[in-house]
């Protein structure tokens, strides 16, 4: 019923002209960060959202979820920027550059770009984090407390290694021996994960550091998520002082919200919920 109500509300919100998207490369001082900016065609500065992708993914995300979200947000009068983290998508560098610190640094570059953009209202900013991107979003929020609204998709919500225990059990020792370890995937080429990533995850306090966050927070998870269990959504909310705050569990949705199943509609529910949340909390 909640999803149906959101869909009805969306249908009556005014749409604005969509100006399209622009590809660019941001420089972090070490390498270039591929980025795509979407902005509505508006006469005044608009709210904006930073989109942070998950492990071994890319700026458009699986099933083009982020590309679709960016267009939907722009149609509602909200801008966005999405980036490729080191070693993913169109990034020019190896995945060995990717660590929690590098990801937060790249996200900060994207945030700074949008804050300085003449068409962006820097007083109305949001962030979306998908899976490990949700962890990066938490670290970004703690470092740069400028966000009014946070939407977490299938997000990690824990300190230390607990969310990554299988990786540590099978790969950490080899990473310590050779400085990195190669991770195989069924959907893409292998990636070399650096020892620095493992060490930074061990020391990570992302959930603890969310204690001071008092902006809006929507945590969305799938009841059938076998990668990051749905209870992480509640754990994330309970760790903050967020208001308003809501956890929504989409029935039968997988970690990626069944986006690759053309007969499923959970991905559309995810996008509708997210757009509605930002329309309510950033405008």
Which domains does the chain show, CATH number per domain? Answer: 2-161+205-281 (3.40.50.1820)
**pLDDT, tens digit, 9 for 90 and up, residues 97-151:** 999 999 999 999 999 999 999 999 999 999 999 999 999 999 999 999 999 999 9
Residue with tokens 């930073």: 50
pLDDT digits (tens, 9 = 90+) for 173-223: 999 999 999 999 998 999 999 999 999 999 999 999 999 999 999 999 999
- For the four alpha carbons of 144, 91, 202 and 132, in that order, the dihedral sign comes to positive
Q: What angle do CA 46, 39, 115 make, to 5 degrees?
A: 55
Stated as kind and residue range, the H or E segment containing 27 is strand 18-27
Residues 6+ away with beta carbon under 8 Å from 143:
104, 108
pLDDT tens-digit map of 81-95 = 999 999 999 999 999
Q: Cα Rg for the chain, rounded, in angstroms?
A: 18
Separation of alpha carbons 151 and 126, rounded Å: 8
| Chain centre to alpha carbon of residue 9 | 24
Tokens linked to 186: 């069924």
Query: What average pLDDT score do residues 14-29 get?
Result: 81
């Amino acid at each position: 019923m909640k999803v149906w109500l959101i869909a009805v509300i969306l249908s009556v919100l005014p749409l604005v002209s969509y100006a399209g998207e622009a590809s660019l490369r941001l420089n972090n001082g070490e390498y270039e960060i591929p980025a795509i900016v979407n902005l509505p065609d508006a006469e005044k500065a608009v709210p904006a959202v930073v989109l942070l992708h998950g492990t071994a993914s890319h700026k458009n995300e699986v099933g083009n979820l982020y590309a679709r979200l960016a267009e939907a947000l722009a149609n509602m009068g909200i801008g966005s920027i999405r980036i490729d983290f080191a070693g993913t998508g169109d990034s020019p560098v190896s995945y060995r550059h990717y660590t929690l610190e590098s990801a937060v640094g790249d996200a900060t570059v994207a945030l700074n770009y949008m804050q300085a953009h003449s068409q962006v209202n820097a007083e109305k900013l949001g962030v979306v984090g998908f899976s490990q991107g949700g962890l990066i979003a938490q670290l970004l929020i703690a470092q740069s407390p400028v966000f009014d609204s946070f939407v977490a998709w299938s997000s990690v919500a824990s300190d230390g290694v607990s969310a990554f225990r299988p990786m540590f059990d099978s790969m950490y020792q080899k990473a310590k021996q050779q400085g990195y370890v190669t991770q195989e995937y069924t959907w893409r080429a292998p990636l070399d994960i650096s020892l620095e990533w493992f060490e930074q995850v061990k020391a990570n306090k992302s959930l603890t550091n969310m204690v001071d966050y008092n902006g809006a927070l929507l945590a969305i998870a799938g009841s059938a998520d076998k990668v990051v269990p749905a209870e992480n959504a509640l754990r994330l909310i309970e760790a903050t002082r967020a208001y308003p705050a809501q956890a929504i569990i989409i029935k039968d949705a997988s970690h990626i919200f069944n986006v690759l199943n053309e007969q499923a509609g959970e991905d559309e529910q995810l996008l509708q919920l997210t757009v509605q949340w930002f329309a309510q909390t950033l405008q």
